[in-house]
């Protein structure tokens, strides 16, 4: 799709973007490109997939002028940055006019798009086949371009995916402190990628926690993701853990805890431990970072029509076309009408009708309730005493529509806890993103307690970083006093972080 006014268009396809290595404050860089019509200046794009410190819940998008660019020490341009859908629709265009670009400097939009939109709630629009298409259009700020040029580039992140079933026999007799090992090999090179050690450790009360230790063997791997599921007696997978691991800090060993404890699994052994066998399904992705980067094509065209620029800078000049949710809207209609509802969620003050199949599709916890030998299977009733009516109502609204509206900090915190309890990971991620966007000195202590209670290391790290930056305001707040009274060890841990 050509510009109405002659311009230089750079289309950048970033494949397997979900497995990029870049952490917060780090950008992945496009191939360099040269704009002949603007004094043969050299440029590149920079994408911050995990955001910057101040805007860590947003994807940042910038245009940089290369250090060894030709042309004057400073050039003035108009430019537009956008993400593009599979069908060519423009999702998020941001425009800027008359920007002066010195060499070796970049300008752009640190809050270009919310990470939750790109990677979770609107993933199908932004990341078809896990490919992000980013576009930059450049015009002269004075005069016209001599050519209408379209340059197409591609960056590919190398990923090896492995999935397998690990069966642990005689699970109930596993010994505490002993390690049980599974070795993961590459199918391409027959090399060992990683070893996984399972062990049992003592938790609160009599609970025995199932811990996993990862030991990296393939040194070229810098980042990996994991989806770990429990396979029940019917062969259905119950999603338990979603994890990310970086191996770029010199440490080749990582640890995490399983969603279920040993005691809970044994209590439901007829469902999860047929013949005393624990079956775990692992889905790994191992990333080595960028493995190829190239300019694929340069096309020339001509056009004579004009394009009127907006004078706004750093303003989203065109809202994304609303996505349609026909299936979700139909499901919501069934819910609103109580049509063929076959289960009730009961609190002490209200009852909510729902559909087992819809709840099971969204939550592995509900699936376990309705498909196995648990009391909810036959009673068609789930008693929920620890969640408010409003929280359950909003949770059900999300399950049926995949949308969430009118969030506040308090609502997000309550929904976060509900989503964690019922393993609705997409809702948990949305609430976590909202909470991170709305840290304040008054609520930071409460968020820290929330993250600790739910064993959320990502949220915990984010709020601890915030607290250390705003320690003077936080130290005298009611939230800090609550933290000191409730968990003084956690408060001490936070204060000691700068000295570790």
pLDDT for 283-301, tens place per residue? 999 998 998 999 988 888 6
Would the pLDDT of 325 be above 80?
A: no
* Rounded CA separation 381/386 (Å): 15
Per-residue confidence (pLDDT) for residue 313, from 0 to 100: 30
Number of H helices, E strands in the chain: 16, 21
Per-residue confidence (pLDDT) for residue 205, from 0 to 100: 64
Lowest mean pLDDT among 153-162, 332-341, 343-352, 357-366: 332-341
Per-residue confidence (pLDDT) for residue 305, from 0 to 100: 36
Per-residue confidence (pLDDT) for residue 302, from 0 to 100: 45
Average of pLDDT values for 256-275? 90
**pLDDT: which is higher, 7 or 3:** 7
Would the pLDDT of 245 be above 70?
A: yes
* Rounded CA separation 315/423 (Å): 37
312 band by pLDDT with thresholds 50, 70 and 90: very low
pLDDT for 27-67, tens place per residue? 999 999 999 999 999 999 999 999 998 888 899 999 999 99
Average of pLDDT values for 68-83? 93
* Rounded CA separation 232/265 (Å): 11
Per-residue confidence (pLDDT) for residue 308, from 0 to 100: 35
* Rounded CA separation 124/145 (Å): 35
Average of pLDDT values for 382-390? 88
The rounded percent of the chain whose pLDDT value lies above 90 is: 40
Residues whose CB falls within 8 Å of the CB of residue 68, separated by 6 or more in sequence, listed in order: 42, 103
* Rounded CA separation 462/444 (Å): 10
Per-residue confidence (pLDDT) for residue 340, from 0 to 100: 81
310 band by pLDDT with thresholds 50, 70 and 90: very low
Lowest mean pLDDT among 11-25, 169-183, 326-340, 440-454: 326-340
- Kind plus residue range of the DSSP H or E element containing 182: strand 180-185
C-alpha distances in angstroms, 375 versus 50, 114, 361? 43, 41, 19
Would the pLDDT of 89 be above 80?
A: yes
489 band by pLDDT with thresholds 50, 70 and 90: confident
Strands 8-15 and 148-168: parallel
Per-residue confidence (pLDDT) for residue 1, from 0 to 100: 39
Q: Which domains does the chain have, with CATH numbers?
A: 8-147 (2.60.210.10), 160-289 (2.60.210.10), 326-499 (3.30.710.10)
């Amino acid at each position: 799709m050509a510009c109405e006014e002659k311009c230089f268009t750079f289309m950048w396809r970033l494949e397997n973007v979900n497995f990029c290595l870049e952490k917060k404050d780090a950008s992945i860089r496009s191939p360099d490109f040269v704009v002949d019509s603007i004094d043969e200046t050299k440029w590149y794009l920079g994408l911050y997939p995990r955001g910057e410190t101040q805007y860590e819940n947003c994807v940042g998008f910038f245009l940089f002028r290369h250090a060894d660019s030709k042309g004057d020490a400073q050039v003035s341009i108009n430019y537009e940055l956008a993400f593009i859908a599979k069908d060519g629709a423009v999702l998020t265009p941001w425009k800027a006019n008359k920007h002066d670009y010195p060499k070796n400097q970049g300008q752009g939009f640190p809050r270009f798009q919310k990470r939750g939109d790109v990677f979770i709630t609107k993933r199908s629009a932004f990341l078809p086949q896990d490919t992000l298409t980013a576009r930059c259009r450049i015009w002269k700020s004075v005069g016209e371009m001599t050519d209408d040029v379209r340059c197409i580039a591609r960056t590919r992140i190398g990923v090896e995916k492995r999935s397998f079933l690990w069966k642990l026999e005689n699970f109930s007799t596993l010994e505490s402190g002993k390690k049980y090992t599974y070795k993961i090999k590459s199918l391409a090179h027959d090399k060992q990628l990683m070893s996984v050690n399972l062990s049992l450790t003592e938790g609160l009360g009599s609970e025995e926690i199932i811990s996993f230790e990862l030991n990296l063997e393939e040194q070229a791997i810098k980042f990996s993701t994991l989806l770990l599921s429990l396979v029940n007696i019917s062969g259905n997978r119950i999603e338990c853990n979603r994890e990310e691991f970086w191996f770029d800090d010199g440490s080749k060993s990582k640890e995490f805890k399983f969603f279920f404890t040993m005691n809970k699994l044994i209590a439901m052994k007829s469902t999860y431990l047929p013949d005393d066998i624990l079956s775990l399904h692992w889905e790994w992705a191992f990333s080595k970072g960028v493995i190829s980067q190239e300019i694929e094509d340069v096309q020339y065209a001509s056009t004579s029509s004009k394009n009127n620029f907006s004078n706004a800078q750093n303003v989203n000049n065109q809202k994304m076309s609303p996505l349609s949710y026909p299936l979700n809207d139909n499901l919501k209609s069934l819910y609103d009408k109580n049509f063929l509802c076959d289960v009730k969620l009961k609190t002490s003050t209200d009852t909510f009708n729902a559909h087992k199949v819809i709840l099971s599709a969204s939550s592995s916890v509900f699936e376990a309730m309705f498909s196995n030998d648990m009391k909810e299977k036959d009673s068609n009733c789930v008693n929920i005493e620890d969640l408010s009516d409003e929280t359950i109502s909003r949770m059900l609204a999300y399950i049926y529509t995949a949308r969430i509206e009118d969030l506040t900090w308090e609502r997000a915190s309550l929904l976060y806890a509900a989503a964690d309890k019922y393993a609705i990971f997409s809702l948990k991620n949305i609430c976590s993103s909202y909470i991170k966007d709305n840290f304040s000195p008054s609520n930071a202590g409460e968020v820290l307690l929330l993250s600790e209670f739910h064993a959320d290391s990502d949220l915990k790290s984010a709020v601890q970083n915030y607290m250390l930056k705003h320690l003077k305001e936080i130290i005298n707040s009611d939230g800090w006093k609550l933290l000191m009274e409730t968990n003084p060890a956690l408060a001490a841990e936070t204060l000691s972080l700068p000295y570790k």
